[in-house]
Every structure is written in C-alpha cells, then in structure tokens.
C-alpha cells in the first residue's frame, strides 16, 4: 500500500492543532480553556465549561480596564503534547492572559509549568491531582474546585460519622486508585472506622462481578469505589445488579462521581449512593438561578467543575479590575487577597499554595420516588468544612507554604 | 477442602461468572467468525455494532416506550439493517482486494459511528436498567448470581446453537458456505451470491446488535463500550481459528472461564490472560484451536 507524501501531509495537518485563532488584537483580556471537546471527558468539561466561562465574561460586562474580554478554547483531545503546544501558542502568539481550565491532570501540570515560564496565570477546575498544590505548586497556579485528597478525606470522614465504619475498597489498579484508597483509609481511621478489605481491578475492566462478590462476602457496611469515569459507572451499575447497596444494610460510596455520571446511570441504579461534591445546582436560590440560566444554554445542569469555571473566571476578572493591570503577579496577589463570595462558594479564599479553600458536601443520591423531576438527584447529608477536607498546611508538600513558616 | 489453597466455592463462583462473560465473547466472536468465514472481511466495526445494539435498546425504551422483549427483537433488526447498508454501500466493492482494506474500512466506519454517537448522546452514555422480571439474585450457596445474568447465559447458548445449526446444517447454510468457496460456480447454479454475502454480514451485525441489547442492563451504555471489548473478541476468534464457527463459540465460553479463574489465582493477570493464550496458540497451532491448516 502506498501513501503519497502529499496525502500524508494532508492527514497530519488535518489531525494537528485546531486552536482557534484569537480574533481580537493583543489589546484584549483573554482567557483560554484547554478542553476535551469530543472525547471521554467532553460531558464533564468540554462545551459546558466554555459556556460557563462565556457566561462569566458576559455577566462581568464584557470589558475590563477598558479592554474587551475574550474567551478562547481548543480541543486538547486528552493529549498532553497538544495541550502544551496550544498553551505555548496562546501565550506567545495570541497573548492569552490566563488559562482557566484544562482537562487531565498530566496536561494541566505541564501547562502550569509553561504558565510559570511565560509569567501567566493558570486556574485548574476539572482535574483533581493533589500535586497542583503540593509537589508541583507554583505562584502562577490556582487549584479551584476540588482535589482527590479532599474527596477521599471528606467522603471518608463524613460517612464514618454517619455510621458507616467498616470499609471495603474496590480500587482501580494504578497510582490514582492507590492514592485515592490510601487517603480515604487514613480519613476512615482518623474517625475510628476500619478497612476490612479491598480488591484491585484493572483499568477499563468492564466486569466487576468478581470484585463485587468479594465485597459482598466481607462484613463491610460501606463499599467504596476508588475509580473514575466509565469504570465507576460500570461498577455501580453492577453493584445494583448484585443487590448491593439497595435494600441491604450496605452503603455504596463513590469517591469521584460527577452529576453527569449519575444522570447517565439513572436514579434506579444509582440510588442510595454517597458521594462528595463541591457543588450541586439545587442547594439554594443562587445556585438555582445560575444553573437554570446555564440549563437554557446547555440543556443540562452544570457540574461542580463547570460552575467552578464560572466562579473562578469571575474572580479572576474582578482581580484584574482591582489590580488595574493584567500582570499576573499583581492579579494573583489580588486573587489571594480578595475573599470569594458567589453562588458557588461562600467565604472562600485562596491559600498561599494556590488551593482555593471551601466547604465540601456529602450527598446521597435520591431514589426515583424521592426525585420530583429531571436533575433532582441529590440530597445533602453533611457539610465538611474546608480545613477538614483539604490537605492541612502542616502536611503540605508545597514550598510556598514552607517559606511562610 | 481446598484447591491450590483456594476454597472451591470461590473457584466455582468464578467459573460461573466466567461463563457469563464468555456468553458475550461467544456471541460476538460468532458474528465475527461468520463475517470473516463467509466474506473474508475482518470486521473492526463489530464493537461499534454492539454499541449500536445497546443504544437501540435504550431508544426503544426511551423513545418508543417499549419493553425489554421488544428491544430484544427490534434492536438486532435495526443493527442488521444498518449492516445491510454498510455492506451494500461499502464492503461489496472491496471483496476482491486484500483483507487489509476491509480491516481499514471497517475500522474507519467504527470510528465514525462512535464519534457520531458521542456527539449525539454524550460520552457518559444513557441509563438502562434490568427488566423487572429479572430483578434480584439467586443465592446458590457458593455464589450469588443476578437473575438477569442467568438469562444472558441461556439466551447466548440458544442463539449460538441456532446460528451454528443454520449455517452448518441447513440448505441455506450450505449455499452460504459454497458461495464463499467458489462464488462463480455457485452463481452458475442460479443462486444469487451477492444476496448471500449481504445476508451473512447482516446476520453478523444482528448478532452484535443482540449482544448489545443483552449487555445494556449490565454495562453502562456508552459510545465507547465496544472499543475495549472488540480487541478481546478478536483474540478469541484468532485463538478459536479464524472463520471457524464452532471454534468461536467454544473458545468464547472457554476464554470467559479462563479469565474468571485468573481472577482467583492471579487477579493482576486477568486483563491479559486472553492475549497470553492467544499468543501461545499462535506459536503452537497458528491456524487456531479449530482452524484448518492451510
């Protein structure tokens, strides 16, 4: 089979970068989002996150310091090299001032390094690696919504406090899963609970029956899934099939579950599950007001990261206005100085390591009978205070916090 | 009593679960084997057809308001119809070319289908619950089996047997087999060979669609649900012998059991054991377990 060189070139060009060129000149304030627009994470981030950023710009008034504000986005296709080359192009050629989200922790960590190099700002909303504010922390990066440490710790503590004290872990067999389980185990132990068993499952395993049978034969009263994405969906669906967590005395706990996944599973399957989230659309008047506007544009409710994109973009723009410049260091100083109060977070603040400190919530998924309509999925069962949820300063591995003490 | 230090209940339980997973492998690899055996096309779109079957089941429930039994009939027909379009529009113009073209073409079709479904339905997929009659579990003492999984094993066994009989033991099947051996000669007898090859692809596609419906209550219905499975199923077909129907069926169930047992003895290897078996088979018997040496 022969491929003509020109064909190959055309193919390569076709699959290469598709970053949108920024239309306005350098005299605009630009925020960029590196999103998976069509792949696995396009539901939890993607177009919804871009829409949230656009809403923030619109609500802010469209201009700051007399310059128009522009939102740019690109499909990073879940590839680190694509994300980094677009980030470089944005910073070097298009004069993007801040990147306000990127899919995948690995890509985000790389982009965060580039932000340091180019004296720009980076805000992470969708990805959850604790590294952003520990080993890889830097003065240019903010981790806004959650991290896996906070999810594991909050879920662990709150569920034990609620009586679930014997844990069995179904853990995906790579670093993410191992860390997730270790953090949750620590949290469970700190509240007096114990881990009675665990089983490792390979990444992308579609069948969990073997793991579920082991969980079922243990004397655990909480079965926790240290998994993500499609793995979590399959595991929870099959747990329901095996009658675990529905009608018996066991509770299911998902350590990382987005509302989009609950929507895709359906309440019939997901009912009763416990999960931690930084946000739910139906918490109060303000969350509903924002979410319903978002719903009109997207046809679905925002998840915690999409709401976080709105809140963090808004906070960034306010800081630019307060600083009177787009210089990253001065804007960052303002962002860390100003408290955050909006529909997404009450009395939030950004710690020196870049961690946005906020309360987390433990939710229980409603049964179909309890739900009164579309997207009425969660019932709030506990609030975990920011200091209780996130890595304490004493355990931080970030040099920015060490300097202080 | 213990077997290699493991309680026999655990081993029996895993064998049973292995048979259940094997049911999907068998149904899917049977479809692949039919398509390869009769059309000489390596159908990489099989995983996408399986996914279409699961979504078609969801559509019959969510859009048409019909029950699971209706989905079990409608979805395979719909996927079969789609298969007919693919065969007529694309595949038949490449039968005379090298196998590689069929592989590339169907791989491209799979990417297109999966991309479109992701665009239409989102990456997280759609909810589908177990039909009411099969809610609940059987506690067999040594293992707990959800009732629905019992049904899957039965449905898969019956279907595999029926398809095998159709192709190996009926007149229509003999035409099909003859048409692949020597299409020119068969058409001399006044048999419409083009129709036969089309129906073979439709049958293979419908089997993939049926597996999709059966899978919908167990696995999350997502646009990418077929991508991981298809590789395993190819390993099953290669191990069983490309194009051998009985080989595909028996190897399908066998691989499910081997995979289940690996989860007892050495769980970390459970995701690769099928490929290890395939590699060994290719070394020792390149034509596969039931394949004829060329």
| Cα torsion B55, B56, B61, B67: sign | negative
User: Which residues, 6+ apart, have CB-to-CB distance to A133 below 8 Å?
Assistant: A141, A143, A147, A351, A353, A354, A355, A391, A396, A398
Q: What is the DSSP string of A96-119?
A: --EEEEESSHHHHHHHHHHHHHTT
- Look at residue B206 and tell me whether its pLDDT is greater than 60: yes
Name the packing angle between helices B171-181 and B193-215 (round to 10°): 110
pLDDT in tens, B178-193: 887 787 888 888 888 8
CB-CB contact of A306 with A144 (8 Å): no
Q: What is the pLDDT of residue B228?
A: 79
Nearest by CB to B129, from A201, A206, A268: name it: A268
Task: Name A226's bridge partners.
Answer: A171
Enumerate the residues of chain A whose CB falls inside 8 A of the CB of residue B13: 213
First to last CA, chain B: 47
A169 touches chain B (CB under 8 A): no
* CB-CB neighbours of A379 under 10 Å: 15
pLDDT for position A142? 96
The tens place of each residue's pLDDT in chain A, 405 residues long, gives 444 444 444 444 444 444 444 444 558 999 999 999 988 788 899 999 999 999 999 999 999 999 999 999 999 988 999 999 999 999 999 999 999 999 988 999 999 999 999 999 999 999 989 999 999 999 999 999 999 999 999 999 999 999 999 999 999 988 889 989 999 999 999 999 999 999 988 887 888 888 888 888 889 999 999 998 888 989 999 998 888 887 778 999 999 999 999 999 999 999 999 999 999 999 999 999 999 999 999 999 999 999 999 999 999 999 999 999 999 999 999 999 999 999 999 999 999 999 999 999 999 999 999 999 899 999 999 999 999 999 999 999 999 987 654
pLDDT tens, position by position, B76-93: 999 999 999 999 999 988
Up-side HSE of residue A329: CA atoms within 13 Å toward CB?
A: 4
- List, in order of start, the domains of chain A with CATH numbers: 18-146+286-355+394-404 (3.40.50.2300), 149-277+359-389 (3.40.50.2300)
Nearest alpha carbon to residue B255 among B41, B28, B18: B18
> How crowded is residue A382: how many other Cβ atoms within 10 Å of its Cβ?
18
Contacts of A242 in chain B (CB under 8 A): 137, 144, 146
Other CB atoms within a 10 A radius of the CB of residue B18 amount to 26
User: A263 — contact with chain B (CB < 8 Å)?
Assistant: yes
* Angstrom distance (rounded) from CA B244 to CA B237: 8
Q: What is the DSSP letter of A21?
A: P
Backbone phi and psi for residue A380, each to the nearest 5 degrees, phi listed first? -75, 125
Strands A121-124 and A98-102: parallel
Q: How would you classify residue A163: left for phi > 0, otherwise alpha for psi between -120 and 50, otherwise beta? A: left
Comparing CA positions, the residue from A306, A209, A102 lying closest to residue B19 is A209
The CA angle A305-A310-A312, to the nearest 5 degrees, is: 85
Considering only alpha carbons, which residue of chain A is nearest residue B116?
Answer: A38
Report the percent of chain B where pLDDT is more than 90.
Answer: 52
| CA angle (A293 as vertex; A296, A342 as ends), nearest 5 | 155
pLDDT tens digit sequence for B148-157: 988 999 999 9
* Mean per-residue pLDDT of chain B: 89
Cβ contacts of B274 on chain A, cutoff 8 Å: none
Which chain A residues are within 8 Å of B146, Cβ to Cβ? Answer: 241-243
Nearest to B122 among A43, A200, A216 (CB): A43
- Best B124, B142, B260 member to test A by mutation, with max A CBs in 10 Å, is B124
Using only the alpha carbons of chain B, give its radius of gyration.
19
- Among A290, A233, A291, A242, residue whose Cα is nearest residue A263: A233
Taking only Cα atoms into account, the Rg of chain A, rounded to an integer number of angstroms, comes to 21
Residue B130: list chain A partners with CB under 8 A. Answer: 240-241
CB contact under 8 A, B124 and A233: yes
Phi, psi of A109 (to 5 degrees): -65, -40
CA distance A251 to B84: 47
Cβ-proximal residues to A231 (8 Å cutoff; 6+ apart), any chain: A172, A201, A203, A204, A205, A225
Mutate to test the interface with B, among A242, A243, A264, A298 (most CBs of B within 10 A): A264
Q: What is the pLDDT of residues B37-88, one digit of tens each?
A: 888 889 999 999 999 999 999 999 999 999 999 999 999 999 999 999 999 9
Of A285 and B8, the one with more pLDDT: A285
Judged by DSSP in three states, A391 sits in coil
Identify which has the larger pLDDT, B176 or A266: A266
Query: Structural domain boundaries of chain B?
Result: 8-284
Q: How far is B126 from chain A (nearest CA, A)?
A: 5
Torsion sign over Cα A343, A349, A354, A360: negative
- Domain covering B8-284 assigned CATH 1.20.120 in the classification: no
pLDDT band (50, 70, 90) for residue B2: low
Model ipTM over 0.90: no
Least CB–CB distance from A238: residue in B128, B136, B218: B218
Distance CA B249, CA B25 (A): 8
pLDDT band at B1 (very low <50, low <70, confident <90, very high): low
Distance (Å, whole) CA A320 – CA A313 = 11
Weakest-pLDDT range from A217-226, A256-265, B1-10, B215-224: B1-10
Q: Is the pLDDT of residue B194 over 80?
A: yes
- Interface probe, candidates A216, A237, A270, A303, chain B, greatest B C-beta count within 10 A: A237
Residues of B in contact with A271 (CB under 8 A): none
Helix (H, G, I), strand (E, B) or coil at A188: helix
Averaged over B206-221, what is the pLDDT? 94
Is B270 in Cβ contact with A205 (below 8 Å)? Answer: yes
């Amino acid at each position: 089979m022969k491929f003509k060189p020109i064909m190959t070139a055309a193919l390569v060009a076709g699959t290469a970068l598709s970053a949108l060129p920024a239309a306005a000149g350098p005299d605009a304030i630009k925020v960029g989002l590196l999103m998976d627009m069509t792949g696995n994470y396009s539901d939890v981030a993607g177009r919804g996150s871009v829409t949230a950023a656009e809403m923030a710009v619109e609500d802010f008034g469209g201009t700051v310091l007399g310059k128009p504000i522009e939102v740019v986005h690109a499909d990073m296709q879940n590839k680190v090299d694509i994300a980094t080359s677009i980030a470089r192009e944005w910073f070097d050629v298009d004069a993007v001032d801040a990147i306000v989200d990127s899919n995948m922790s690995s890509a985000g960590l790389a982009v965060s390094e580039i932000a340091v190099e180019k004296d720009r700002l980076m805000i992470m909303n969708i990805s959850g690696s604790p590294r952003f504010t520990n080993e890889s922390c830097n003065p240019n990066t903010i981790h806004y919504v959650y991290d896996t440490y906070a999810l594991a710790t909050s879920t662990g503590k709150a569920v034990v406090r609620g009586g679930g004290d014997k844990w069995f872990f179904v853990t995906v067999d790579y670093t993410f899963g191992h860390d997730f389980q270790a953090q949750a185990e620590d949290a469970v132990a700190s509240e007096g609970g114990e881990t009675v068993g665990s089983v490792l499952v390979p990444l992308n395993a579609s069948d969990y029956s073997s793991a579920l049978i082991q969980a079922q034969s243990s004397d655990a009263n909480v079965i926790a899934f240290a998994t993500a994405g499609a793995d979590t969906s399959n595991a929870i669906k099959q747990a329901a099939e095996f009658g675990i967590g529905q009608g018996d005395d066991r509770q299911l706990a998902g350590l990382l579950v987005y509302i989009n996944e609950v929507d895709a599973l359906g309440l019939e399957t997901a009912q009763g599950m416990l999960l931690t989230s930084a946000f739910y659309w139906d918490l109060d008047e303000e969350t509903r007001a924002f979410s319903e506007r978002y719903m009109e544009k997207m046809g679905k409710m925002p998840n915690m990261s999409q709401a976080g994109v709105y809140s963090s973009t808004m906070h960034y723009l306010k800081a630019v206005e307060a600083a009177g410049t787009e210089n990253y260091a001065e804007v960052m100083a303002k962002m860390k100085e100003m408290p955050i109060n909006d529909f997404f977070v009450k009395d939030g603040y950004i710690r020196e390591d870049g961690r946005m400190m906020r309360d987390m919530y433990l939710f229980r998924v409603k049964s179909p009978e309890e739900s009164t309509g579309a997207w009425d999925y969660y019932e709030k069962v506990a609030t975990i205070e920011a200091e209780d949820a996130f890595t304490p300063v004493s355990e931080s591995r970030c040099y920015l916090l060490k300097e202080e003490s | 009593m213990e077997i290699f230090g493991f309680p026999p209940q655990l081993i029996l339980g895993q064998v049973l679960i292995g048979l259940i997973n094997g049911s999907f492998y068998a149904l899917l690899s049977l479809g692949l084997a039919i398509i390869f055996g009769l059309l000489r096309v390596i159908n990489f779109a099989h995983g996408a057809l399986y996914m279409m079957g699961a979504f078609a089941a969801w559509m019959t429930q969510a859009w048409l308001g019909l029950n699971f039994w209706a989905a079990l009939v409608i979805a395979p027909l719909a996927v079969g119809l789609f298969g007919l379009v693919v065969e007529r529009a694309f595949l038949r113009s490449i039968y005379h070319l090298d196998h590689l073209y069929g592989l590339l073409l169907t791989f491209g079709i799979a990417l297109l289908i999966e991309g479109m479904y992701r665009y239409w339905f989102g990456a997280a997929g759609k909810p589908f619950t177990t039909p009411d009659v099969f809610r609940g579990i059987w506690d067999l003492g040594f293992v707990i089996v959800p009732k629905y999984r019992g049904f899957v094993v039965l449905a898969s066994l019956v279907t595999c047997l029926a398809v095998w009989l159709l192709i190996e033991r009926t007149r229509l099947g003999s035409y099909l087999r003859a048409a692949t051996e020597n299409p020119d000669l068969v058409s001399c007898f006044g048999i419409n060979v083009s129709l036969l090859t089309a129906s073979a692809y439709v049958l293979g596609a419908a089997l993939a669609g049926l597996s999709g419906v059966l899978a919908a209550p167990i696995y999350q219905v997502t646009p990418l649900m077929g991508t991981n499975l298809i590789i395993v199923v190819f390993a099953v077909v290669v191990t069983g012998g490309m194009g051998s129907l009985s080989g595909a069926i028996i190897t399908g169930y066998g691989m499910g059991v081997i995979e289940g047992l690996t989860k007892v003895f050495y769980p970390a290897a459970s995701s690769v054991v099928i490929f290890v078996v395939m590699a060994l088979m290719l070394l020792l018997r390149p034509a596969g377990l039931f394949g004829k040496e060329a």
